[in-house]
Amino acid sequence: MSLTTAHSVVAPSANSKRIAGAIIIAYALISIVPLLWIFATSFKTPPDSIAYPPKLLFQPSLEGYCNLFTTRTRQTPEYINSLGPATDFCDETTRKRNMVIAGPSNFLPRFVNSLIIAFGSTFCAVFLGTLSAYGFSRFKVPLADDLLFFILSTRMMPPIAVAIPIYLMYRELGLSDTALGMILLYTAVNVSLAVWLLKGFIDEIPREYEEAAMIDGYTRLQAFWRTVLPQATTGIAATAIFCLIFAWNEYAFAALLTSGTAQTAPPFIPTIIGEGGQDWPAVAAGTTIFLVPILVFTILLRKQLLRGITFGAVRK
Amino acid sequence: MLNRTAENVARATPEPLARKVRGISDKGLAWLFISPTILLLLAINIFPLFWAIYLSFTNYRANRPNEVVKNLGFANYQRILGDKDIWIAMQTTAHFVFWTILLQTLIGFTLAWLIDRKFRGHAFWTTLILVPMMLSPAVVGNFWRFLYEPQIGLFAYAISFVTGIPPTNIQMLSNVSLAPWSIIIVDTWMWTPYVMLICLAGLRSIPEYIYEAAEVDRASNWRQFWSITLPMALPFIMLAVLFRGIENFKMFDMVNLLTGGGPGSTTEVASITLKRQAFESWRTGYSSAFAIILFVAVFGLANIYVKALNKVKQR
């Protein structure tokens, strides 16, 4: 598709462009407000975060981030005064609220779990997906359409419906609440996306390259390594990022199948509470840290986004 | 580097084995490449599915694994189809799916139609609009609870600022008639960009010469929109509706975090009912039967819809 789709004869008038631009910019700005609010809240103190009317201007503070990474207990002022001088900023802020830091919170381990599970499952899904996509793209596989549809149909099940038997199966196999179990499950969910996307990318690589390589004496496998893989790197990278985002964002399976050691960040963040309810600055801080990688990836991926979200059905 | 590795491996391999590897037939290679994926899906998707089908005919309860499992035949299915709460949950789901798709399609298409005018800087603003759909519905949905807080929440404050209703009266999550809309609003905020992106691809796929021909025929802008733009973008719009429909039919994370199905059961969509039955009441057999019914419903509806979509495409 060429870039010059503006209709030459019927090019929109300057005025209509201006109006369109104004509406789009207004929509974009309004739709981004909740995200800016998350970011702003993460730098508020707990009293500022629940002030009425909501505070637009405030003294930025790192208290939310302190609270995100620590657990605290309330102490008497006498006890706090009997302690030595505060060692760092978090210590000092906590003491001002008549509390002392009791230890690290679970956020960091949960975040690390998210990383391990997301990267592990992405690697497996892309590895399996690349092989199958090549198989489907280049060979006459009997019942190929049925198999491809079967691969896709596994994504139509409501996650809770899948979770019931998986829960029982993992209990039998000892995979409940383990990173391995979650990696296997996310790989299975992601592999359908990987196969469909990568098949599209590999279909676009001309067969002539491999055929030429094979005439030069390479086997099919070597031709796959030498010609197809290097040309598919963009597609593989885009697919990997989509798989990564899915695994990173996933909540339903994680909430039902993990509870402790293998719990990921999405089910953990909503459980961050302070005294008297949700500690919104800490929640916002966790949410901000959790969302930033995805923001970066979205910008990197913007050209491939359409393909990814439609399983390769729409390619531009 | 990889090439060299492959070569070295080939060279280091003993001759008979090398011949075997080198001589592997295309058919063999195809299966070698495809079977790991199929095996994984059989283990993680199909085997559990059959297990769920088996369980759906029993009275099994996951929290009492040692109890004798009785075969109930179709009793679970009969009970579900006669259960008033299940039908209410299905209605709630249908209400949610209908309104989110309607709003997302209308707003998404309008946005795409405006962006297609290619005003200056459209690429930047388009990317900005796309951001919400990439984020975790659970983590962001959870934060919306804060935005929805009466009084201190930004949403309630903004609404009261515009309408003059006291902000304490805007109880988005705990008011029975507002709670379903609180979910529809977040879902629409999050997924309108998705529909927009697909519609934009549709609009850009319309060849320019059609508009030129229409211009020669002096067709009005209105006429061009209804006779060219809309029909030619329709397959794309329908595709977006299909994807959103399936996703929202399964909707769990956002609803679970925003309202948890409440207040009462006013926002209890099918997935929430399923979770309550399976993981709170531990009626594993019963909930398996419900899961199977849901699966058949999605699958059946999606199939019918894809047939309709193909018909539109052929026109």
In the prediction, which pLDDT does A31 show?
94
Nearest to B246 among A156, A248, A310 (CB): A156
B 204-223 residues inside an 8 A Cβ radius of A: 204-205, 208, 211-212, 214-215
**H or E stretch including B210?**
helix B208-216
Mean per-residue pLDDT, A129-138: 92
User: What are the structural domain ranges in chain B?
Assistant: 2-55, 77-314
Q: Is the pLDDT of residue B20 over 70?
A: no
Quick one: closest CA in A to B224, which residue? A10
DSSP chain A: --S--S-STTPPPHHHHHHHHHHHHHHHHHHHHHHHHHHHHHTS-HHHHT-SSPPSS----SHHHHHHHEEEEE--HHHHHHS----SHHHHHHHHTTEEEEEE-SHHHHHHHHHHHHHHHHHHHHHHHHHHHHHHHHS--TTHHHHHHHHHHTTTS-HHHHHHHHHHHHHHHT-TT-HHHHHHHHHHHHHHHHHHHHHHHHHTS-HHHHHHHHHTT--HHHHIIIIIHHHTHHHHHHHHHHHHHHHHH--HHHHHH-SSTT--HHHHGGG-EETTEE-HHHHHHHHHHHHHHHHHHHHHHTTTHHHHHTTTS---
Backbone angles phi, psi at B212, to 5 degrees: -60, -45
Nearest to B127 among A7, A265, A302 (CB): A302
Is the confidence at residue A184, as pLDDT, over 90? yes
Choosing among A18, A27, A169, which should be mutated to test the B contact, i.e. which has the most B CBs within 10 A?
Answer: A27
A253: closest chain B residue by CA: B253
Identify the DSSP state of B251: -
Which of A29, A160, A169, A176 best probes binding to B when mutated, by most B CB atoms within 10 angstroms?
A160
Interface test with B, best of A19, A56, A58, A164 (most B CBs within 10 A): A164
Q: State the average pLDDT over residues B294-310.
A: 87
Pair B278, A165: CB distance under 8 Å: no
Is the C-alpha dihedral spanning A212, A213, A217, A219 positive or negative? negative
Please report the pLDDT score of residue B11 as a whole number: 56
On whether the CB atoms of residues A268 and A208 are closer than 8 A, the answer is no
> Chain A residues with CB inside 8 Å of B197's CB?
305-306, 309
Contact predicate B198/B236, CB 8 Å:
yes
**What pLDDT shows up at residue A1?**
41
Residues of B in contact with A49 (CB under 8 A): 152
Contact criterion met (CB < 8 Å) for B130 and A298: yes
Q: Where are the domains of chain A?
A: 46-105, 108-309
Residue B49 Cα, gap to closest chain A Cα (Å): 7
* Residues B184, B251 contacting (CB under 8 angstroms): no
B41 interface with A at CB cutoff 8 Å = yes
Question: A269 and chain B: CB distance < 8 Å anywhere?
Answer: yes
Beta bridge partners of A70: A104
Is B194's CB within 8 Å of A309's CB?
yes
User: Does the structure show a pLDDT above 80 at B23?
Assistant: no
Q: Which residue reads 């910019």 in tokens?
A: A25
Residue A5 has what pLDDT? 45
For chain B, say whether A80 makes contact (Cβ under 8 Å): no
With contact defined as beta carbons under 8 Å apart, do A265 and A293 qualify? no
DSSP letter (8 states) at residue B167: G
Kindly indicate whether the ipTM for this predicted assembly is greater than 0.90, answering yes or no: no
B268 neighbors B261 (Cβ within 8 angstroms): yes
From CA A190, how far away is CA A184, in angstroms rounded?
10
The residue with greater pLDDT, A252 or B28, is: A252
Model confidence at A134, pLDDT cuts 50, 70, 90, reads very high
Band of residue B45 on the pLDDT scale cut at 50, 70, 90: confident
Residue A314 has its nearest CB partner, among B24, B198, B212, at: B198
What is the structure's pLDDT at B5?
Answer: 55
- CATH code of A108-309, in short, is 1.10.3720.10
B137 and chain A in contact, CB less than 8 A: yes
pLDDT tens digits, B56-86: 999 989 888 888 888 888 999 999 999 999 9
Residues 26-55 on A with a CB inside 8 Å of B are 27-28, 31-35, 37-38, 41, 49-54
Give ∠ CA A294-A295-A299 in degrees, rounded to 5: 115
Contacts of residue B115, Cβ cutoff 8 Å, sequence gap at least 6:
A20, A24, B122, B125, B126, B196, B200
| A314 φ, ψ (degrees, to nearest 5) | -115, 125
Q: Average pLDDT, whole number, for chain A?
A: 87
Give a three-class secondary structure readout of A112-153.
HHHHHHHHHHHHHHHHHHHHHHHHHHHCCCCCHHHHHHHHHH
d(CA A46, CA A31): 25
Mutate to test the interface with A, among B58, B145, B146, B238 (most CBs of A within 10 A): B146
Asked if A235 and A133 count as a contact pair (C-beta separation under 8 A), the reply is no
Q: Which superfamily does B77-314 belong to?
A: MetI-like (1.10.3720.10)
Residues 281-310, chain B, touching A (beta carbon < 8 A)? 284, 287-288, 291-292, 294-295, 298-299, 302
In chain B, the residue whose alpha carbon lies closest to the alpha carbon of A304 is B197
Residues 6+ apart with CB under 8 A from B297: B249
Q: Inter-chain contact B278–A38, Cβ cutoff 8 Å?
A: no
Q: Are A98 and A163 in contact (CB under 8 A)?
A: no
Q: Distance (Å) from the C-alpha of residue B140 to the closest C-alpha of chain A?
A: 7
Distance, in angstroms, between A286 CA and closest chain B CA?
9
Which of B109, B135, B237 best probes binding to A when mutated, by most A CB atoms within 10 angstroms? B135
Q: Over 80: is that where the pLDDT of A313 sits?
A: no
CA dihedral sign, ordered A136, A137, A140, A144: positive
The string of pLDDT tens digits covering residues B97-144 is 999 999 999 999 999 999 998 888 888 999 999 999 889 999 998 999
The answer to whether A98 touches A74, Cβ cutoff 8 Å, is yes
Output the pLDDT for position A10: 61
- A52 versus B102: the higher-pLDDT residue is B102
The answer to whether B154 touches A35, Cβ cutoff 8 Å, is no
The one-letter amino acid at A111: F
Q: Which residues of A touch B278 (CB under 8 A)?
A: 160, 163-164
> How far is Cα B98 from Cα B106, in angstroms, rounded to an integer?
12
Residue A316 confidence class, pLDDT cut points 50, 70, 90: low
End-to-end CA distance of chain B: 50
Would the CB atoms of B40 and A18 count as touching at under 8 Å? Answer: no
* pLDDT beyond 80 at A9: no
CA distance A314 to B239: 9
Q: What pLDDT, on a 0 to 100 scale, did the predictor assign at position A2? A: 41
Question: Which tokens is B210 given?
Answer: 């059609």
In three-state secondary structure terms, B295 is helix
Integer Cα distance of B230 and B270 in angstroms: 33
Which chain A residue has its CA at the smallest distance from B214's CA?
A10
Give the best residue of A2, A7, A16 to mutate against chain B (max B CB count within 10 A). Answer: A7
Q: Residue B173 in contact with residue B145, Cβ under 8 Å?
A: yes
B298, amino acid identity: V
Q: Is the preceding peptide bond at A60 cis, omega within 30 degrees of 0?
A: no
DSSP state of B69: P
Contact check, Cβ <8 Å, A219/B51: no
Task: Give residues 42 to 61 of B whose Cβ lies within 8 Å of A.
Answer: 43-49, 51-52, 55
At A115 the pLDDT is 94
For chain A, say whether B6 makes contact (Cβ under 8 Å): yes
Contact between B271 and A160 using a beta-carbon 8 Å cutoff: yes
- For A211, the token pair is 């055929």
**Are B33 and A134 within 8 A, CB to CB?**
yes
Q: Is the bond preceding residue A53 a cis peptide, omega within 30 degrees? A: yes
Could you give the angle at the alpha carbon of A263 between the alpha carbons of A259 and A267, nearest 5°? 85
Distance of CA B313 to the CA centre of its chain: 22
List residues bridging with B71 in a β-sheet.
B58
